[in-house]
Amino acid sequence: MKDVIPERHVTNIIINLLNYKKMENTYSFWKFFFFSPLTLGIYPLVKFTVMGDDLNRLDKRSTVPYWITALLLGGITFGIYPLIWWTNVCKRIGNLNPSNGFSAATFWGWCVLGSLIAIGPLVFLWKLCNALNSLGEVNTEEVNTEEVSAN
């Protein structure tokens, strides 16, 4: 019997495929910057909802989708719930990859307080895109090393 794969290797490969944690999307600051006004705010609404789905897949937690947060819960709570939502999302991004230096303080510092200098939210968006893209790269590398170690 040539080229027979032992059963334990097949089981490890199947488990790795089922637990495959890869971000399916990339995030570009310039797309957010140009498409937000062109689509009258629909592009960031969709991309932030997809971002939440990617984070849910990576850390196996669940959050309220961004579109519900922005369109429904934001108005009902007079803007308080979106602040809490963004704080929690930024904490999750920082916990998934602590080396990217992203945390809830990034949100409060750049997006909230930085809005006083007008360019702060843009800096936050740039940092968010970089953190999400580095998070995707780190998780792709982890999956590749798991597949190699299974063999």
Element (H, E) at 72: none
The pLDDT of residue 98:
80
> Taking the chain (151 residues) in consecutive chunks of 10 residues, what is each chunk's mean pLDDT?
54 49 75 94 93 88 89 92 94 86 91 92 93 76 53 53
Distance CA 122, CA 105 (A): 15
3-state secondary structure of 103: coil
